[in-house]
Structure 1
Amino acid sequence: MLLIMQVLTVWLAIQLLFTIWNLSRMPKLGKSLSSQSTYYQPSADSHDQAVADHTSGKDQRSKPILSIMIPARNEEINIRQCLESVLNCRTDSIDIEVLVMNDHSEDRTVAEIQQVMQQDDRVRLFHSDPLPDGWMGKSYACHQLVQHAQGNWWLFIDADVRLEVEGLEAAMVTARSQGKGLISGFPRMETGTWLEKILVPMMSFVIAYHLPIMMVRRSRSPFFVAVTGAWLMIHPDSYARSGGHEGISTQIVEDMELARAVKRIGDPVTLANVQHYTSARMYRNAGQVWEGYKKNIFVGAGRSPLLAIGISIYYALLFILPVITLIYSLCTLDTMLIGWSLLSILIGMITKSIIDVYHGKPIWMGIYMPVSAACLIGIMMDSWRAGANGTGYNWKGRNYG
């Protein structure tokens, strides 16, 4: 047992060093990407497209247009603050249009939107057609929104997202430097209830801990991808050539599939740090946290039972076994084992604290690491079960198979 703990501790230390390096490689929203990667070079076709846009009138205005598109289903709690945060953004160098799709809401979502529309005519409201067979609800809402978009760039955001005053200007700086493709970033996650604090930061943890962030942009492989539909910016030309939401209409995790489609056509995909410019509270209670992660986690693992089991075992070994070993060593008074177990637990907590602080969370939340890992494993197993037995996943009144 002592040798196992020594090996685990060394590996945890290696992962800690990788995490620190990995986070330092993440591009920051508002900065130029031109010097950070050679992956994407504008081609002659891209130049021709830009000329065509200009001659067709899209760029004849003195400012480029940014289309902000918000799918909204039962979002009466969120939508008004979301719209107000968008409309309060500085737009010195851009014009904006704000398009909202009411996706068959059953609450006061429409009334909240209409109140904002009375104060600002940049907001336009649309009502979704009935959901066709073979479509996921959010994908169809986004697909309908783009039919009305006039912007040089498009920004999809969820209704629970809040933008800071410089958020849109910063987004366009980065978008201009990239030229084409897709840019996404995880908002600073606000948490309230206990399960939010334990689980929501794990989304950022998994990416920083495992995915070489620089490869999201530098590699053409769809394997290296991490994006979120909560804040996703895409060039209209890249959207059209990748097939858009129509090409991924059956996918539950539509944001990841859209990013993979953009990579397949050779356009760049960037995962950026957007923490300073956007925030979100995705869930409001423990039930929403569990169901939200349950809907995505097994699907995100490619619906592979082997991968789901492998991830669960890996996290159990790294973050739960040291706690069990510490309890055992305290009972047997094995001082060497106590020391190595404590060191393993401490390294895991420090790693989580570094990731949490980077993403705007308090440093003390790192102490949740063993509990967070246990909950993540529990959701993975529950998500696997729901996918395997055909019950599917429920979210906002819809069932997803």
Structure 2
Amino acid sequence: METLFWVTGGLLALLWTWRSLDTAFGLPRIADITQPQWDLAAAPAAPRLTVIVPARNEERDIEACLTSLLALDYPDFEVIAINDRSTDSTGAIMDRLAAGSPRLKVIHVNDLPSGWMGKTHAMWLGGREATGELLLFTDGDTFFRADSVRRAVACLRQRGLDHLVLFPTMLFKYAGEKVIVSFFHAALSFAHRPWKVSDPKAYDHVGVGAFNLVRRAAYEAIGSYSAMRLEVIDDLRLGKLIKDHGFRQDVVFGLDLVRIHWATGALGVVRTLSKNTFAILRFSWTLVIGGSIGIAFLSLGPLAGLIFASAWAKLPFAIALAAMASLYVQARPVTTISPWYFFAHPLGACLSLYAIWRSAWQTSRRGVVWRGTSYSLDLFRKAAGKD
């Protein structure tokens, strides 16, 4: 039994140390556009920008979102807000703001065509009406600092990019939200290397719903949102299509340039994850089971070994935990979450496993329910290439 502990602990120590070291060398390679070198005045001939904002029942946040966008210090831009069949005052708020600003155009969607997700249809409508050379796709609950877009466009142009993602700053109201978000930053180090996104030979790609800045030519070349009609995780899919088509892509940090509040409380985050986690796993029970085993082994194994192994056999498990803790320290400048949340890592793992299985179970039973609209699971399986 002691040999098994040494082998298992050694494997865990190796894996977590590998991810910790890779992250330590990789994260500093990601540009921080809050730095002075990116505070560039927009050139007189700066490309026209269209910001596309879909929203359904976002009356709580849409006014603050659009107001922050209209206050951007970028010289030539328009904002297209799409009211996607809202049953609250979202549309009325949009119309009121549009009456006071010529930069804001509002599109009201009353009926959803068959074969579309509501959000992807709204994005497609916005892209069709856009007049900008650059398109910024965002969400109706996102808040922008005045210089955010100017800095991002400067980076995109200087680096000759076709697609740029700015990681948003997460806003937190409760500790439970931090537990899950900090867990994800550590766990996702095994699945995603954002510093490799710009490498055309790497499999890594990126897309974030709060800030996807893309050249119109690249957007049209991938087939626009018409190629993602039934895509639940459209932001990630947009990034993958852009990377697969050979366009240049990168990601940047920028604390407080773009801010979002993802969900309220730990259970709120779980409910949010339950909407799209099965879609991220391409509606595959094989990936659900395999992913769950991987999360349990990697995230719960080190603590279990430290508890149950005897004497010196605890050492490799302790090394694994130390490497895991270092990821929380490294993430602090990006997430603003205290590294002490490392001690809640097992809880974050359990909540994430619950969210995965809740998403798979609910979606398998009743299909995809998104923003009050129900969709047959068969449609998504076919769209994901599953019969």
Contact 2:5 2:305 in 1 (8 A): no
Which range moved further: 125-134 or 283-292? 283-292
Match in the other structure for 1:96: 77
Distance 2:34 2:76 in 1: 17
Q: Which amino acid aligns with 2:224?
A: G
Q: Percent identity?
A: 23
The residue correspondences of 1:1-400 to structure 2 (distance < 5 A) are 1-3=4-6, 4-29=8-33, 62-91=45-74, 94-179=75-160, 181-219=162-200, 223-328=203-308, 334-387=310-363, 389-400=364-375
Distance 1:73 1:129 in 2: 11
Match in the other structure for 2:380: none
Query: TM-score, length-normalised on structure 1?
Result: 0.82
Distance 2:326 2:167 in 1: 21
Q: Are residues 287 and 114 of structure 1, via their aligned partners in 2, closer, same or farther at CA, if it must alter by over 3 Å? A: farther
Distance 2:366 2:219 in 1: 33
Kindly state the Cα deviation for residue 178 of structure 1 after the two structures are TM-superposed. 4.2
Q: Which amino acid aligns with 1:25?
A: R
Match in the other structure for 1:50: none
Q: Are residues 337 and 87 of structure 1, via their aligned partners in 2, closer, same or farther at CA, if it must alter by over 3 Å? A: same
Q: Deviations over 1:135-169 (max 9, x none)?
A: 11110001011122111211111112111221011
Please, what is the CA RMSD of the aligned residues? Answer: 2.6
Kindly state the Cα deviation for residue 376 of structure 1 after the two structures are TM-superposed. 1.5
Q: Are residues 299 and 320 of structure 1, via their aligned partners in 2, closer, same or farther at CA, if it must alter by over 3 Å? A: same
Kindly state the Cα deviation for residue 340 of structure 1 after the two structures are TM-superposed. 4.5
Contact 1:220 1:263 in 2 (8 A): no
Q: Which amino acid aligns with 1:359?
A: T
Contact 1:207 1:226 in 2 (8 A): no
Kindly state the Cα deviation for residue 133 of structure 1 after the two structures are TM-superposed. 1.0
Q: Which amino acid aligns with 1:83?
A: L
Q: Deviations over 1:177-216 (max 9, x none)?
A: 2445221233111122343222234444444443233432
Kindly state the Cα deviation for residue 246 of structure 1 after the two structures are TM-superposed. 0.3
Kindly state the Cα deviation for residue 5 of structure 1 after the two structures are TM-superposed. 2.1
Query: TM-score, length-normalised on structure 2?
Result: 0.85
Kindly state the Cα deviation for residue 134 of structure 1 after the two structures are TM-superposed. 1.0
SS of the residue aligned with 1:199? helix
Contact 2:84 2:122 in 1 (8 A): yes
Distance 2:238 2:93 in 1: 30
Distance 2:216 2:280 in 1: 26
Gaps of 5+ in 2: 38-43, 378-387
Gaps of 5+ in 1: 34-60
Distance 1:82 1:115 in 2: 14
Kindly state the Cα deviation for residue 239 of structure 1 after the two structures are TM-superposed. 0.9
